[in-house]
Amino acid sequence: GESVGLHLPTLSVQEGDNSIINCAYSNSASDYFIWYKQESGKGPQFIIDIRSNMDKRQGQRVTVLLNKTVKHLSLQIAATQPGDSAVYFCAENRGRGGSNYKLTFGKGTLLTVNP
């Protein structure tokens, strides 16, 4: 089965609310995690990343939290906007960097923002 999975396949929020998208991973050796946003018919776009030696990282309107104890990753989007509507994927790097770099993706969560 998938090593990286999501608790909620769909999430619907009102414009202006905060969104939280969750992701579980099973490989405790994974040392790097990325959140991607994919709009319909397009390739994934990088949102934010986090290394395993961190538990929180903030970007513009987004925050990623990493809980290594329970192998859980979350993406928080503040003041969600209609343009945030997309599928969000978490990905883990199972390699140890360098020549073993290889991302494994979860199935994704569809975020719908209602005006």
Partner 1 sequence: DGGITQSPKYLFRKEGQNVTLSCEQNLNHDAMYWYRQDPGQGLRLIYYSQIVNDFQKGDIAEGYSVSREKKESFPLTVTSAQKNPTAFYLCASSSPGTGPNTEAFFGQGTRLTVV
Give me the residues that bind partner 1 (CB under 8 A), please.
Answer: 2, 4, 31-32, 34, 36, 41-46, 49, 51, 89, 91, 93, 95-99, 101-108
Of the pair 77, 106, the CB lying nearest partner 1 is at: 106
What is the rounded distance in angstroms from the CA atom of residue 81 to the CA atom of residue 70?
30
Q: In angstroms, what CA-CA distances link 89 with 68, 76, 98, 115?
A: 18, 13, 23, 23
Rounded to the nearest whole angstrom, what is the least distance from the CB of residue 83 to partner 1 in the complex?
A: 18
Here the tokens at position 26 are 């099973």
Of the pair 2, 17, the CB lying nearest partner 1 is at: 2
Rounded to the nearest whole angstrom, what is the least distance from the CB of residue 76 to partner 1 in the complex?
A: 19
Q: In a 3-state reduction of DSSP, which class is residue 82? A: helix
Of the pair 19, 30, the CB lying nearest partner 1 is at: 30
What is the rounded distance in angstroms from the CA atom of residue 26 to the CA atom of residue 4?
7
